[in-house]
Structure 1
Amino acid sequence: MHAIHQRFEQLKQEGRMALMPFLMAGDPDLATTREVLLALQRGGADMVELGIPYSDPLADGPVIQAAASRALHAGTTPAKVMEMLSTLPDDFDLPLILFSYSNPLLNLGMQRFCEQAAGAGASGLVIPDLPLEEADRLSPIATQHGLDLVLLVAPTTPEARMARIAESSRGFTYLVSVTGVTGERAQMETRVEGLVQQLKQSSPVPVAVGFGISGPEQVKQVRRWGADGAIVGSALVKRMAAAGAANMASEAESFCRELREACH
């Protein structure tokens, strides 16, 4: 049984939703990323989505684009991210989902990328610009290495294709709550509730909502809509950047505790 599935099953028994923070690896450096990962575990995160910085992040808004730029300026590469992950202590047990665009994965090769990701302790992959047809190629390779390939659904995805994506996704289905890029939103779109239910009818795989969740109130709203997980990215990255490198880990832990309360 894969780590992501195990964690969702555990949370189901506990009667709460998964808290899934997003973090950009290497922002401002990989030593800080390592500290923040440990802080997120202390703060009550259930899984972590870890971004691998890329120079043309089409799905990301300005906050995460800036984080990726800082990470690239610091010399962060996929290989260095994998190396850092392999140094995490044995008691770090959060399932890690690597977020990468297609180019770094294809440049290295699907087989080698999955092998390195699994060797570094990752549990899953999110590739936002990978079409379903290419995902059908990558998914068996990921599965061979014990990785879940998580697929994304947008509000604009046609119903028939949405069902195909939900059936093909592993670990969970990532429901993008807005049409557009990542970033904080003052309010969640109410149609997301219907999309959550639609996905749940299409597949038994859990549904996690991301893009636009800025704080505990949106987490509560997503929970009421029946989602199995809430992914919080820009809000966390923004707060960490404002805190400065020396205080990033403590700020991440504090914000994670606030969000965790809303998951119950």
Structure 2
Amino acid sequence: MNRLNQLFSTKKENLLSIYYTAGFPELNTTVAIAEALEKAGADFLEIGFPYSDPLADGPVIQNSSQKALENGMNLNVLFEQLKTLRQRVTIPILLMGYFNPVVQFGVEKFCQKAVEVGVDGVIIPDLPMYEYESLYKPYFIENNLSNIFLVTPQTSEDRIRKIDQLSQSFIYLLSSSSITGKNLEVSDNVELYFKRIKDLELKNPTVIGFGISGHAAFAKACAYANGAIVGSAFVKFLASEKDYLNGIPAFIRQIKNPAVLV
């Protein structure tokens, strides 16, 4: 089992994952942010590698990607930074980004380098499932690297079952088909969607993302899934706080348990 599987086998609920963009707000703080997030109580992390045309991202993450690229971030730089990752961070780490940079880097090489530096899984939203299965699956299996699939409210049950069959750690449930950064509005339709997924009794754990920005949304997501992912709200925090490393514990506390004041 990799670290993701170990995590989900020992903790079944209220898991908190944090997304942030590598190289933002500064080029060389990628591992320091990961270390601070683990100490503050995050259960696992998604480190985004920036791309110049991030179609599914809202303005907050788009701006962070642009700034990270301007700072000099790319996959070569990221893998160089992550060489010290496992000396400082023990929780599971995923890389998240678009497929174009991975293809340019080389898919097999990307998988090898990811595992080499201690990465446990990858989320590539625009990698088609049939391409993964027919072309790239062996690279992931050989390296014990989890490929995380996304499900939206429009995903059919047949496709969800297929994703469950192909998945090795967890399934990422998008709270909507919108771009990132939209606040989670738990309407009757969204509740029905969450309940529909829960009632399928999938073999893989599920984690809900898109629109989780505070404790209420986190708690609501965790009522239907094993955990939730906070992305845009954390990236916005990094952009607005000068002393963001020291501010991370308070940020995590307001998501997980704002009643705890110390």
1:22 aligns with 2:19: yes
1:37 aligns with 2:34: yes
Within 2, Cα distance between the matches of 1:123 and 1:134?
A: 21
**Equivalence for 1:177:** 175
Of 236, 239, 250, which residue of structure 2 is paired with 1:254?
250
Of 109, 122, 146, which residue of structure 2 is paired with 1:148?
146
Greater shift in the superposed pair: 152-161 or 49-58:
152-161
Would you identify which runs of 4 or more consecutive aligned residues in structure 1 move more than 4 Å? Answer: none
Offset of 1:79 from its aligned partner?
Answer: 1.2
Residues 148-191 of structure 1, C-alpha deviation per residue, up to 9 Å, x if partnerless? Answer: 00000111222322221222222100001012110041523443
Within 1, Cα distance between the matches of 2:184 and 2:123?
A: 25
**Equivalence for 1:167:** 165
Greater shift in the superposed pair: 197-206 or 21-30:
197-206
SS in structure 2 at match of 1:41: helix
**Equivalence for 1:210:** 209
The one-letter code of the counterpart of 1:104 is P
Q: How do 1:67-146 residues align onto structure 2 when only pairs under 5 Å count?
A: 67-88=64-85, 90-136=87-133, 137-146=135-144
1:52 aligns with 2:49: yes
Within 1, Cα distance between the matches of 2:48 and 2:184?
A: 24
**Equivalence for 2:222:** 223
SS in structure 2 at match of 1:86: helix
Offset of 1:251 from its aligned partner?
Answer: 2.5
The 1:208–1:186 alpha-carbon spacing in structure 2 relative to 1, beyond 3 Å, is closer
The one-letter code of the counterpart of 1:37 is A
Within 2, Cα distance between the matches of 1:251 and 1:128?
A: 30
Within 1, Cα distance between the matches of 2:79 and 2:218?
A: 30
**Equivalence for 2:6:** 6
- The answer (yes or no) to whether the contact 2:86–2:117 under 8 Å persists in 1 is no
**Unaligned stretches of 5+ in structure 1?**
none
The one-letter code of the counterpart of 2:54 is P
The one-letter code of the counterpart of 2:248 is A
SS in structure 1 at match of 2:160: helix
Within 1, Cα distance between the matches of 2:193 and 2:162?
A: 14
RMSD over aligned Cα atoms:
1.7
| TM-score, structure 2 normalization | 0.92
Within 1, Cα distance between the matches of 2:192 and 2:152?
A: 12
The 1:178–1:189 alpha-carbon spacing in structure 2 relative to 1, beyond 3 Å, is farther
- The answer (yes or no) to whether the contact 2:85–2:117 under 8 Å persists in 1 is no
- The answer (yes or no) to whether the contact 1:151–1:170 under 8 Å persists in 2 is no
Kindly, what percent of the aligned residue pairs are identical? 37
| TM-score, structure 1 normalization | 0.91
Offset of 1:82 from its aligned partner?
Answer: 1.1
**Equivalence for 2:241:** 243
Offset of 1:242 from its aligned partner?
Answer: 0.7
Offset of 1:64 from its aligned partner?
Answer: 0.3
- The answer (yes or no) to whether the contact 2:92–2:119 under 8 Å persists in 1 is yes
SS in structure 2 at match of 1:236: helix
Within 2, Cα distance between the matches of 1:54 and 1:97?
A: 16
Within 1, Cα distance between the matches of 2:157 and 2:105?
A: 34
Residues 31-86 of structure 1, C-alpha deviation per residue, up to 9 Å, x if partnerless? Answer: 22222111101110000011000001111110000000000000101111111111
Offset of 1:17 from its aligned partner?
Answer: 1.7
Offset of 1:131 from its aligned partner?
Answer: 1.1
